[in-house]
Structure 1
Amino acid sequence: MTSKSTPPGPELLDERSIGGILVHLLGLFTGFFGPILLYAVSDHEFTRTNARYVINWHLTVFALMVIAFVMFFLGADEITVGGETTEVTLLPPPLDIVFGLVGFFLVLILLIAILLTFVYTIVATIKAIFGSVWTYPGSIAFVERYW
């Protein structure tokens, strides 16, 4: 009985690359900027595929951050500057409460996504070490297959 396992040594290195492994850690420290650079300069398919998934995840978190803070601040009806409270109403009264609550919940989801970034980085790096590509769950496919 023969079992199918990953090829040893040099054959496995032909299928994967160091860049494909380290791109996940690079994304943890540089967001989507480092993986975009690596995606642009690499010609190894394993590296480009891993970089694409890292870029997609970090762009998803960035988009969530922008939307959450815009919604939250549109819902704010007063701000404190230099210890003085100033009333600022950008939206009519019923909408400011809705935008504020939605923004608050999106900020909570953003905090969860930031925590998941650390978990996903560890999982994706371990998967890449063993030669497989892991898709980050919940990410939006900003970078298509042939970008």
Structure 2
Amino acid sequence: MQPPPLPPGLPPPAYLRPSGPSPDERTLGMLCHLLGIFTGFLGPLILWLVKKDSSPFVDHHGKEAVNFQISLFIITLCVSVVAVGLMIVWIGFLLLPLLLLIPLLALIFKILACASANRGEWHRYPMCLRLIP
């Protein structure tokens, strides 16, 4: 037995609405993280600014992607400054493997975030500054 038809202009009841993000929302959430691989913070920032009001799911993933890109920049900058400073006394070369490890870990975290967004999950990056709440 089907429920009676709704009067025009009323939204469907909660039990008839699909649960979770739509496929378009999941794709946009995944794209927020994927753009970070190729464009740094600029791609996720633009996508987040354009789509943040259309979906809470895209808003969340956009904020996470931008926050992670900013955190990644700050961490890389700090390690680079310390490495250059220590190269004066010839021990800064010990930090060069760390500078190579940072982008590799960032790529792994971004791929995991893409997969989570594609599954419709609300992903949070580990060790990330939440500058955009």
Alignment TM-score, normalising by the size of structure 2: 0.71
Is contact 2:45-2:66 (8 Å) kept?
yes
Runs of 4+ in 1 over 4 A off after TM superposition: none
Distance 2:23 2:85 in 1: 51
Give the equivalent residue in structure 2 for 1:67.
78
1:91-131 deviation digits (Å, cap 9, x = unpaired): xxxxx56xx54x843x4334222111221122111111111
Structure with bigger RCO (C-alpha 8 Å, 6+ apart): 2
Identity %: 27
> Which residue is equivalent to 1:46?
57
Segments of structure 1 that go 5 or more residues without pairing to the other structure are 1-9, 78-95
Contact 2:80 2:99 in 1 (8 A): no
Residue segments in structure 2 that go unaligned for 5+ positions in a row: 1-17
Question: Who is 2:67 aligned against?
Answer: 56
Q: Distance in 1 between matches of 2:123 and 2:63?
A: 11
Count of residues in correspondence between the two structures: 113
Residue 29 of structure 1 deviates from its aligned partner by 0.7
- Whether contact under 8 Å (2:27, 2:117) holds in the other structure is no
Give the secondary-structure state (helix, strand or coil) at the position aligned to 1:16.
helix
Distance 1:71 1:15 in 2: 43
**In the alignment, which residue of structure 1 is the partner of 2:121?**
132
TM-score normalized by the length of structure 1:
0.65
Residue 20 (structure 1) aligns with: 29
